[in-house]
Chains A and B, each alone.
Chain A
Amino acid sequence: MAAQIFSAIFVIIIGVGGCVAYFWGANRLLDLILPSRGVSGAAAINNLRRQGYVRPWLFVGPALIILAVYLIYPVIATLWLSFFDRGGTSFVGLANYEWAAGDHDLRNSILNNILWLAVVPAACTFLGLIIAVLTDKIWWGTIAKSLIFLPLAISFVGASVIWKFIYEYRGEGQVQIGLLNAIIQYFGGQPQVWISLPFWNNFFLMVILIWIQTGFAMVILSSALRGIPEETLEAAVIDGANPFQIFWKIMVPQIWGTIAVVWTTITILVLKVFDIVLTMTNGQWNSQVLANLMFDWMFRGGGDFGRGATIAIIIMIAVIPIMVWNIRQANKETGGH
């Protein structure tokens, strides 16, 4: 363990030192090869111009290389592998996609993912908005927001343990130590094994993600609400609007753009949801989702890279519309700069 800590410290020093040495060294080298100081005017201007061509690439170079190896190459390779067999060696054409079209587990996962997509972003945004509006009205709102925001720092696995404890079921005659079953029992209901109830168990898993992400929606929307011009609200009050009208007709339309951003951010997260399903049910009792199914295929029986890659492509296809929209928005915003 001491060796491990030592090597981690060593790597930080080497990594950071290496970066500093690279950026400083490359920059210095460029100045030496194409000197702009201490040479005559015309040459200096010429060299400065040539430096201007090279230097940006020295700055973005390391980032580009890492992005190419860890993201751009894999995206292409995954697409490529989806046309190959389990070992990734022989070409099988569209066989993996044919399998995908007919596979029962996969269809079930897609349906579950659609269910997640329909519920979680909407629930997070709605709850986040309500809490943002309510906490704005009270003196201890900041503390309340902090506490609701807190689960965002908790890992999905940690959150799963927290909620598994709430959903805990113990056999008849035993004390129910899971909060949910204890409440149900208190009101005379029958305790249940919540996470193995087909169909409904999806919602019990979704609650975990909603619990984590509502804080995110709340913070973003709260800041957008602050940006609403005071005059529009005052005008509405003078015109006799009630709080609900003010909320739906004055506030919501003005932060529509932010709501869309929150919604899409959570949508992307939902498409990738993996940890919660793995730790709670591992896809049993009809709760499978795409990301967990893909992980399963990656390692099941030595791994089937072809089918795993195909599932990854399905997730990717779902993300592409959001990606295009994002790039368009960014282009509009940055424009010439």
Chain B
Amino acid sequence: MATKTGKSFIGRFGVHIAVLVFVAIWTIPTLGILVSSLRDKDQIVASGWWNSFASSSQSEAGRLPGASAQTQKDGKYVIEGNIFGDGPKREISAFGVKSSAPTQYKAGSVADLNDGATLQINADGGFVLSSPKAFEGDRGQRVYFASSAPPKFTTENYDAVLFSEGIGRSFMNSLTVTIPATVIPILIAAFAAYALAWMRFPGRALLIAVIIGLLVVPLQMSLIPLLRLYNGVGTFFGVPSKTYLGIWLAHTGFGLPFAIYLLRSYIAGLPREIMESARIDGASDFEIFVKIVLPLSFPVLASFAIFQFLWVWNDLLVAMVFLGTAPDQIVLTAKLNALLGSRGGNWEILTTSAFITIIVPLIVFFSLQRYFVRGLLAGSVKGG
């Protein structure tokens, strides 16, 4: 169909360009934080990440040492040294002594100051200030310079974020929340889905309608009563109200309508003949479920597992309501949100933390995309 509609060369070329633009818009933002997370933290603020492969340049201002540093040489008074002191060396391209002309002189050239004084600043930061008269005062000569540093990539940000910002710990907390909250609903939903698909009992149609209704009930409807319930249970038994057990069950509850809906529509579509011939052979519903339905349903179980995993891993709301913010409970999304508040301008920390929170979903997504898409299609094309 495609080849027939876009026959002209320009038309086809246009399609390629258009798709390329879309792909760029959709990938560049993520690329930005990946590149930034690997950059040196001083360079992140010195130049945009898209310039990270070029040398980063910046304009700086400084003051040369005062009169106490002068020595006498060949009848002149001289102050020598390096602008960068003992700090990291950058390359100087130009310098100046007036804020109105901060890059008046090229690096290595000699600038004539007033009263026969001269200043030379070399590319490596070394400077020589000389004057026929003795320097006076502690305030040295003001200088301006443009410097650049070669691109520098490092994994330091990851070290810092994982081990001293608490992201490593939060990563473990997220895993602790996600894995049980993904595994527990599967079996519960599968049995219910089988009963709703293949067993006849009064109220079945009503149950299905209720579950489809619950699919769209906003999470917000559940939060306050459950928070009160958890607080009540906690007080009654004298246990903390914010626990991993609490959030596992909450995620199980919130994930069940979709799980049952998704599994039911798949299981209902399994061929009737298989079930009936098994029943004629004397198999009970339990045996049919375990030996026939479960193995055949593997693809849809995988789809649901991926959905639930991504949803729980990416969730912020449920975690903020049902888990504490202490280091032993705070999950990645909540931690990232807290860092946005406390480390607002520290992009090396934010970009690195963000990349760590999205890396697991991205791996899951890329390795299991087929199941994910299948679940998406089954879950929404039919109504949800």
Tell me the A residues contacting B by CB distance below 8 Å: 1, 4-5, 7-8, 11-12, 15-16, 19-20, 23-24, 27, 31, 52-53, 55-57, 59-60, 62-64, 66-67, 69-75, 77-78, 81, 88, 127, 131, 134-138, 141, 144, 146-158, 160-166, 168, 170, 175-179, 182, 211, 214-216, 219-220, 223-224, 230, 233-234, 237, 243, 246, 258, 261-262, 265, 268, 271-272, 274-275, 278-279, 291, 294-295, 298, 305, 308-309, 311-313, 315-316, 319, 322-323, 326-327, 329-331, 333-334, 337
Contact = CB atoms under 8 A, between A and B. Distances in A.
Contacts of B184: 12, 15-16, 19
A150 B363 CA distance: 10
A183 B201 CA distance: 64
Nearest first, the 8 closest Cβ-Cβ pairs linking A and B are: A70-B253, A155-B314, A77-B225, A59-B195, A63-B192, A153-B365, A137-B2, A161-B354
A295 B217 CA distance: 17
B73 interface: no
Contact of B222 (A70, A146, A337): A70
Given A150-B26, A305-B224, A312-B218, 4 more contacts: A16-B184, A135-B19, A163-B29, A262-B380
Contact of B216 (A78, A216, A326): A326
Contact of B310 (A27, A153, A275, A313): A153
B381 A261 contact: yes
B94 to A, nearest CB: 17
Nearest to A294: B220
Contact of B191 (A23, A71, A246, A319): A23
Contacts of A16: 183-184, 187
Nearest to B18: A134
B81 interface: no
Contact of B188 (A63, A136, A272): A63
B209 interface: yes
A97 B114 CA distance: 77
B149 to A, nearest CB: 13
Given A19-B188, A151-B26, A162-B354, A71 B214 contact: yes
A315 B220 contact: yes
B253 A329 contact: no
A327 B310 contact: no
B357 A157 contact: yes
A323 B48 contact: no
Nearest to B329: A4
A209 to B, nearest CB: 13
Contacts of A211: 25-26, 29
25 contacts: A4-B172, A5-B172, A16-B183, A24-B286, A31-B284, A64-B192, A66-B252, A70-B254, A71-B253, A72-B210, A73-B225, A137-B3, A150-B26, A153-B310, A168-B347, A182-B48, A219-B376, A234-B4, A237-B4, A274-B316, A275-B316, A313-B221, A319-B216, A326-B213, A326-B216
B26 A155 contact: no
Contact of B45 (A24, A177, A262, A305): A177
B87 interface: no
B1, B195, B314, B347: residue with the most chain A Cβ atoms closer than 10 Å: B1
